Amino acid sequence: MCLLAVLYRLVPESPILVAANREEYYDRPAHSPSIQSGKPRVLCGLDQRVGGTWLGVNQHGLFVGMCVRRAPVDPLGLRSRGLLAREVLRASSARKGVDKAMEELTSNRYEPLNLIVCDSESGWVVHSDTEQEVLPLEDGLNIIGNQNLNDPADERVRLAHRLLTLQMLDSPVKFLAVASKVFARTPTPGGRPSMIVRGPDYGTVSSTLIALSPKPRDAIFQYATGAPDEAKYEDYSPLLRDILSRGLREARSKSKAN
């Protein structure tokens, strides 16, 4: 499971704003976000077991986020969905990323997943279990968990949407401030939906806040190693700005060469 919110193309200075909580088994360790080797440069965390990721940004300003999808599929023999996310993060655009995802999903058997792929030009969501469905990401607030995008039957999605729309999120600073509180909402008694999941062997293991802007120097990447009601967000923005600046320089050089 996980919970992922993307405020898409609503704030001009930050067309992609992200808040995400990741849930996983506590005994499945992961590396904190770092710049991965190879091209394009990618900033993401890595699952130590298989080397996949759940969320990342590449130097082209492409964001990829992954959630577990609830589906009656036998997981035996299926490829880790985190490896698909790493494959998609190699794309130079969201459109090419979705094409890569569909190519992989039709040629390999992956665990059921929900995938959000977006840049400043286009955004997409992929639902995949026994079949695949690709839908455009709507401008505005998009929230996904382990069912469909903005699913009215998902109580966590409904709660997150209500809490994130209590205020006008008209700047990256306001979005990140509000989202950091919403996604740190602690479990409540009675089994009611909450942003934080805390079980005996499974629960919220990390949280991420991202603001992608046309100017690399304005980009923000904050990461909490642990549930954000207990762990502080650490600033990884310099790493994000570094890869985005590299991508901008390479794009300009390519444009001049042509």
The more confident residue out of 243 and 110 is 243
Neighbours of 100 (CB within 10 A): 17
Domains annotated for the chain, with CATH where assigned, are 2-257 (3.60.60.10)
Of 165, 180, 160, 178, the residue nearest 227 (C-alpha): 180
Q: How high is the mean pLDDT of the chain?
A: 94
Neighbours of 122 (CB within 10 A): 16
Is the N-terminal amide bond of 40 cis, ω within 30° of 0? yes
pLDDT of 195-245, one tens digit each? 999 999 999 999 999 999 999 999 999 999 999 999 999 999 999 999 999
Rounded mean pLDDT, 60-82: 85
Distance CA 126, CA 69 (A): 11
Rounded mean pLDDT, 139-145: 97
Distance CA 191, CA 147 (A): 19
Residue 1: pLDDT band (50, 70, 90) is low
